[in-house]
Amino acid sequence: PIFIFTFICMTYDETLDYLYEKLPMFSRTGAAAIKQGMGNIERLSEFLGNPHQKFSSIHIAGTNGKGSTSHMLAAVFQVAGHRTGLYTSPHLQDFRERIRIDGEMISKDFIIGFVEKIQPLIEELEPSFFEITVAMAFDYFASKNVTMAIVEVGLGGRLDSTNIITPEVSVITNISWDHMNLLGDTLEKIAFEKAGIIKAGVPVVMGEKNPVTAPVFVAAAQAVNTTLSFASDHHRMTDFKFARHNLVAEITRLHTDEKTSYTLDLPGIYQGRNLVTVLEVLKTISQVWLIEDNHIHKALSEVKKLTGLFGRWELIHEHPEIFLDVAHNEAGMKAIKEQLEISNYHNLHVIIGMVKDKEIEKVLELLPDSATYYFTNAAIPRALPALELSEKASKYKLRGHIYTNVNIALKSAVEESEKNDLILVCGSVFVVGEVDRNMNFAEHGRI
């Protein structure tokens, strides 16, 4: 049967249902939802009057860190007084998290009106969910007179819908293993897809320098005659400490040996690498955009409050400490392992759920076998069933029980914990997104 959706008195919830049911969505179904090529986004943009041409932007790709880097940059531009759009994906709990202006989520009324306006083209083109959200974000930014939009790539770069923009600077945080079924089975192939955001006359900032992939980016920049800088060649985190759940990072400018201390409200030690990238981006555009040092310091200390970033070594409870982190691939789990090595706790409890198309074994082999595990899965078709995850984990001597959802797992972990234990929820954006942050942990604990 063919279902015809009409927008007579359509509510916000009905509009979202239409988008979720009508459009293929990667987070639910995986590779089948990907629409290769730029044709759809070009048609959608043309229909909307090419809104992506009406604001300045910074484009951010990379395997890990692009979300944190995007939010940090958005915070800086907000504090500096620029009307700042931020487009990221996926969302954790609310669809509107994807599209923000000055930290405020897109209005429900705009979403309803946008979908109503573009519905005939949806029926004709059958675009992906992601293509529609990109078009929606750019239409929203243009309609609200955004002066700078920070735009995070969804997947890859070359064929990503966001690649319709011509930004002030292109940023690639790093390259590691992820989405090999879509981007290629070597780091060079993955790098080639990410390098697809490099454009003539647009300077490029690379976050981390990898000897395997660096030549790919150098060649891509040379091919279009633009400049390329590696942030790690210019800045380095040379010291750090934790203060009241903030990361205090000492950054050294390598050519002058000048040291500057920054306080981040994102306490993960891996944020030092993202900070270095952010500083190089700001240096690159400093002749065009007036950003003062005090803007940078203030913004970095309030990223979460200013932009709504969550799920990055995020502390949601103390005694026991409960952290949420969206790490879900090999590089992300290496960062988590590094964080755990410098954390103080008595026993470690790990609540983990993953999706089927990740390099699951490479993640599991990095996890400590001394922890107690709580295997679960998100409520999406792409989720790897908790039983399968548990069976795979047993090869690495990771032992624990199976739970039907993350909140049952979390209650159990709290019940099993002492005050000086650490509980970590990780493995999937979707598992972290389903955590009930309003849970009464004291009800379940031993305290």
| pLDDT, tens only, 80-126 | 999 999 999 989 999 999 999 999 999 999 999 999 999 999 989 98
- The model carries a pTM of 0.90
Cα separation, 116 vs 139, in Å, equals: 13
Strands across the sheet containing 228-230:
104-105, 99-101, 84-87, 148-152, 56-61, 169-172, 204-206, 228-230
Residue 378 has pLDDT above 70, yes or no: yes
**Rounded to an integer, what distance in angstroms lies between the CA atom of residue 181 and that of residue 87?**
25
* Residue 396 identity: Y
Can you give the pLDDT at residue 296?
Answer: 98
In this predicted structure, which of 182-191, 391-400, 413-422 has the lowest mean pLDDT? 182-191
pLDDT tens digits for range 207-244: 988 888 899 999 999 999 999 999 999 999 999 998 87
Helix, strand, coil content of the chain in percent (nearest 5)? 40, 20, 40
Give the residues across from 252 on adjacent strands.
236, 259
Backbone phi, psi, residue 236, to 5°: -150, 140
For 62-128, list the strands marked E by DSSP.
84-87, 99-101, 104-105
H-helix or E-strand spanning residue 207: none
pLDDT of the residue at 183: 55
Q: What is the pLDDT of residue 73?
A: 98
Lookup: tokens for 400: 């624990």
Angle, helices 39-47 vs 129-143, to 10°: value is 30
Amino acid (1-letter code) at residue 236: R
